Amino acid sequence: MSPKLSVVVPFHAVESYIEPCLESIRTQLYPNIEVIMVDDGSPDGSSAIAERYTRQDDRFKLIRLPHPHGPGPARNVGIAEATGEYLAFVDSDDLLPPRAYTRMVGSLEQTGSDIAAGNAWRFSNSTGTRPSWTHRQAFEEDRTATHINEFPLLVRDRMLWNKVYRRSFWDAHGYEFPAIRYEDYPVALRAHLEASSVDVISKHVYLWRDRESGDSITQRTFDVDNARDRVTSAHMILDSLAEATPAVAEAVHAYFIDVDIVALAGALATAPAAYQPELETLAIGLARRLEPQQQGPTRLARLAHLAFRDGDVNLPVALARWRSDGDRAALLKAVGRDPKLYKVPSVVRAITPRRRVQNPLRPRRLRAQLIGGRVENAEMFLDVEFKLRRQFAQGATVHAVIEKGRGEIPIDSMEPVPGGVRLTLRIGADTVERLGRKDRRVRLHVRNGVLRWAGGIELVDAVTPPVARLANGRWLSARRADANSVALHLGYVVNPVPAAARIVDGDFVLDFAHHRTGTLAVVRPEPTPWLSVPIADGVARIPSADVLEGDPSDNPFSGRAYREVTVLRGHSWARVYLTNAVDEIRVGEATLELQPATAGYLQLVHDRHLDDALLDAEATESATNRRGEELANEEARATDA
């Protein structure tokens, strides 16, 4: 039987990463694949690991190149050997969720589109899993049979690995990768422009690694060779915009200003003097091809772009150094030495948060994150960390509130830790009774003398927000509201089926007081069928081994999966409300838990403890040089918001 999907995996010197990558491909729930691994002259043990997969699974094939050619040419070699109706690419240090190809190939089969593309996470041992900044907006919701001309945000979708291409479309347009770094964007954007339609999938289909060592291509932003290839790639893309609509062309220009111009300024700020002339030529040449954009890029990026266009490299370098060390005085001093003093007001405006003039009578923006949470005796505790310079944090007073209409509900807070940047919020019964049924955002107010700061609390994927069980079928949960801020939600399980849980011989047993017969189901994503068990005399037993069978975790890095538990009542499924707490169950290297979801209904969570040797391989590498391109962009965007 011919494979339906060909997956091309080029690799070079990735001995610490390639095994979990290949394992995430091998365990895909879409089985009809071939995996073409191209060894691009690896000097380490990567090839031996790849060869082992060819012996264990006949879907894996290995091609060896005698010396390094680069990821683009290595991909071209793999494509020439591919025989599938569809084509996909994986970078050898990344991971795939188990249903990635089921979702993308399934979408193409239904719509007939030329490309299916999905959302992505970034991950590392130090930060866990978090949304990819460059994919977040474009993949916020599903869009079938769309096009980049209809949805210009797809210009940010510059990678290959979160996609499946129809092979006939690929061959018809003769796509081939150049022998440079950043070889993917010229092909990815051209394919977006030439596709008849594209399916956008909001579900995450890819995990993009931040190497702890900082040695991946996208993390070596400040190398001169990296910068040279980045600019070459950008020029290739700009050359391909003849068929693009004005909106798409403007979006591409804005994206390059926001990302690549900023990266080139950073390279100039850190590179040795010998490389400065070439970097200056590269930056000025690219800047002069990019039209100024008022919408999209940050103010810092726009200012750096205009300076490069004017042949000025000193201002972008000064801005890059300020973004790195936050030394405002050094920045203004550097700008003040410029004979063109009219630039000073522009710089001051660019580094001053918009609508947050440094006025002691108005609060400044406070950045805070939820770093943990717990529930004790039906009370919720939220652990919060906020960012404030040490000289301001010392001696500051902090109070937290819940927004309610035009008013506020105060929250009790425990004493902050020394330094004043961490504190714990207590949501007690008296506070809960004042919430009402709407989501209520939580905000912090900080005061030090006449200076004030205020802001919401960001909720990131790496933290699981707590859920508190209250009386009368009510649930209090902390969940993501607009702009990722934490909101408190007081919910009720609608028409719940109450059940008590216990453990019998390593299985969960649910006792239903008012539901004597029927079916209980653990809801699982396609293609895994729901796990159904009978309810007899008000009792349902969930076999632990069956819970794990055929249902891998949605996130191969965290190892966790969340599955709703429902009961067939009449002709419809009803949610279950758990009336008591129960311990977790250990099944081999996995654990099973029954816990409430954010809306209060029952869910079964299975956590497959990952192989520590694989997950910790990169933890032994130096973390001091981690300067990932995306993290830098996020920090700059937060500063410039």
Rg (CA), the chain: 27
Helix (H, G, I), strand (E, B) or coil at 501: strand
Query: Distance from CA of residue 167 to its chain's centroid?
Result: 28
pLDDT of residue 353: 58
Distances (CA, A) of 279 to 436, 483, 554: 58, 37, 43
Q: Determine if the peptide bond prior to 246 is cis (ω within 30°).
A: no
Measured between alpha carbons, how far apart are the two ends of the chain, in Å?
54
> Roughly what angle, to the nearest 10 degrees, separates helices 262-270 and 629-640?
110
Non-local (6+) Cβ contacts of 74 within 8 A are 10, 11, 12, 38, 40, 65
In 405-530, the DSSP E strands lie at: 407-413, 422-427, 440-448, 451-456, 467-469, 474-480, 486-492, 497-504, 507-511, 518-522
Half-sphere exposure of 107 (CA within 13 A, CB side): 27
Q: Which residues of 22-40 are buried (b: 16+ CB within 10 A; e: fewer)?
A: bebbbebbbebbbbbbbbb
pTM reported for the whole predicted model? 0.77
Which token pair is 415?
């004493």
Taking the C-alpha atoms of residue 374 and residue 290, their distance in angstroms, rounded to an integer, is 50
pLDDT of residue 546: 95
Distances (CA, A) of 103 to 175, 208, 209, 463: 24, 18, 21, 26
Which token pair is 212?
């702890």
Taking the C-alpha atoms of residue 238 and residue 255, their distance in angstroms, rounded to an integer, is 12
For the segment 234-271, what is each residue's pLDDT rounded down to a tens digit?
Answer: 999 999 898 789 999 999 999 999 999 999 999 999 88
User: Which segments in the chain show pLDDT lower than 50?
Assistant: 213-221, 341, 355-357, 611-641
CA angle 213, 219, 224 (to 5 degrees): 115
Q: What are phi and psi of 163, to 5 degrees?
A: -135, 160
> Roughly what angle, to the nearest 10 degrees, separates helices 184-194 and 224-239?
20
pLDDT of residue 620: 33
pLDDT of residue 512: 93
pLDDT of residue 472: 64
Task: For tokens 């690896």, name the residue.
Answer: 42
Taking the C-alpha atoms of residue 97 and residue 556, their distance in angstroms, rounded to an integer, is 6
Helix (H, G, I), strand (E, B) or coil at 297: coil
Q: What are phi and psi of 409, to 5 degrees?
A: -110, 120
Helix (H, G, I), strand (E, B) or coil at 175: coil
Which token pair is 560?
């966790």
Which token pair is 285?
């040449």
Taking the C-alpha atoms of residue 293 and residue 249, their distance in angstroms, rounded to an integer, is 11
Q: Count other C-beta atoms under 10 Å from residue 180's C-beta.
A: 19
